[in-house]
A and B are shown apart, each in its own frame.
Chain A
């Protein structure tokens, strides 16, 4: 049995001990997140961000006098597994709320479970618009992350800054997020840079080990710039294969990637092979390559480094951290741990984060969170690429 499964069994056994009193004392948060497989590299820091938030809140006495407790489970980035685990967390473990999932495959699936069981579910990272669109919105789903429309807007803004670009090719993973991301970019680009034409779109599968054929196809279209929604291991593989094929040289590094490849996690993974000069984003640049770092953020990063014993903090922990704090605010405002009350309290709620205030919109329960964008540059203080002069984009997004 996997180590964390064994630990989960032990915890479940331990939970049976002082039965009655214990159940009422803590607020249980179910946290399905990929802890194995290619996306675990982001799942792990997300869980750590949530755990740090819980530790901080509990140190101050908890919420409504009760301590928060995270029950994490390995979703393996698989929608069916995430659904199964969520049901188990609700029915067997009696969680009060759900926070978590990583991908836009898992989150909409868990959202239906949340709706069935009337449990508030906060998704920290899923960007696909399907999560909160008119057909799928319900009182219990909330989204802390950005969504693909916001991301496409910012991506198009960055693309429009490039000089002498007439033709653009796109490449994105062939699933909900990738499709939405590219579509949103193309739509936004028409308005921000009508002289730029998207001449080709490539659709490798998520987890594609060999991008060579796709890269060759892109090169054959003679692009001036590339918009790329690949992330995590896919972006690492893509870069390692695209560099010797001359893609970055051809487009003079005019590549924009909105899928958080500007995080310290991704930069460290690629090390010296990182394609310096591309434009990327992160929810949290961690390393502020320029001025304007919010004071709360400095403290957040120091605390995170101490909590995780990592030399360089992850750019992913912040969204899970924000999700837990948002939930805590909702519970406080509602004065109750019942999901119906908390759901009403969360609608329109404004909460603090280390990088500014965010609010859940009343209509679609999302924050339309902007992200930090910039050119990935070398820095003598760090052995990996950092975002130079991180800029919060978009500044003027209006949901349609």
Chain B
């Protein structure tokens, strides 16, 4: 097996990983801090994709059109997240997980139908922005520029997120809210605003990932369900609520998928699910998580 081929598979795995990290990080964040399992996170991702397509139709695909569309998606989905959190999630905190699951699942159905109603059932496609449409030769394998962009973007966002959580005043409040919500409340901090802020941030990330995936995937109804399953596997492997867990969980997922098809060519699904099963048996709280 040629080294260039292995390198190509490795880079492919990294691209998958970074996309998954962008979306799974929001899921993990919301669970880690607010203890809410948000199934509708995948729906936000899907809406981000559809909104990006819509924005590109309005702005017309000029050079900057795609980036404007991506920001538009992030902002709009963030706003939607704020509305959903304020109106509905408030009453779910601290309640039985079953209610949270039921509500977010209902949200999945509602948002799915809304998307179908607005954009129909046809598969939609957005072209890669021209500045990133080419490819380069690296170590004998062809690397699409867009993949390289995503591979670089992932760790940047991870680093910024880590900085934000660990080195800022707001980040300290967020970590405190994760540790002991009631105490923080008693100390006078506005926990409600922190929660809303976190949820909006996670939703923005979901919307942004949805927009960024459009050059390399078709936008179809059902992409919300597909992505949420993958995001869950990543978070299970890495550890619910752990930021670096999600990062490394994504990297592992990407590489297992990439090389899994070489070891089990007929069973592309098998390798990732097998990994998740092993983790659940050996270390159920994930590689970097803490026992709940």
- Using a CB–CB distance below 8 Å, which chain A residues touch chain B? 2-3, 35-38, 40-41, 43-44, 174, 201-205, 207-210, 212-214, 216-217, 219-220, 232-233, 236-237, 240-241, 244-246, 265, 268-273
Contacts and interface: CB of A to CB of B under 8 A. Distances in A.
B221 A40 contact: yes
A236 B123 contact: yes
B121 interface: yes
Contacts of B222: 36-38, 207
A233 B218 contact: yes
16 contacts: A2-B113, A3-B117, A43-B121, A205-B269, A209-B223, A213-B258, A214-B261, A216-B258, A219-B8, A220-B5, A233-B123, A237-B217, A240-B125, A244-B128, A244-B133, A245-B144
Nearest to B110: A2
User: Interface residue tally of chain B, by bracket?
Assistant: 35 or more
Contacts of A41: 121-123, 220
Given A233-B218, A271-B125, A213 B12 contact: yes
Contacts of B234: none
A293 to B, nearest CB: 25
A240 B128 CA distance: 9
B255 to A, nearest CB: 10
B123 A35 contact: no
B112 interface: yes
Contacts of A3: 113, 117
A36 B112 contact: yes
Contacts of B117: 3
B178 interface: no
B268 A205 contact: yes
Given A207-B226, A212-B12, A244-B134, 15 more contacts: A36-B221, A208-B268, A209-B227, A210-B12, A210-B19, A213-B16, A214-B261, A216-B258, A217-B5, A220-B1, A236-B218, A240-B215, A269-B122, A269-B124, A273-B125
Given A203-B265, A209-B227, A212-B16, A244 B123 contact: no
Contacts of B218: 233, 236-237, 240, 269
A44 to B, nearest CB: 5
B133 A213 contact: no
Contact of A213 (B9, B113, B146, B220): B9
A36 B121 contact: yes
Contacts of A232: 123, 220
Contacts of B221: 36-38, 40
B257 A213 contact: yes
A44 B221 CA distance: 13
Contacts of A246: 135, 142
B74 to A, nearest CB: 20
Given A41-B220, A209-B217, A236-B218, A202 B265 contact: yes
Given A209-B227, A240-B215, A36 B116 contact: yes
Nearest to A217: B261
Interface in B100-158: 109, 112-113, 116-117, 121-125, 127-128, 133-135, 141-142, 144-147
Contacts of B262: 217
A105 to B, nearest CB: 15
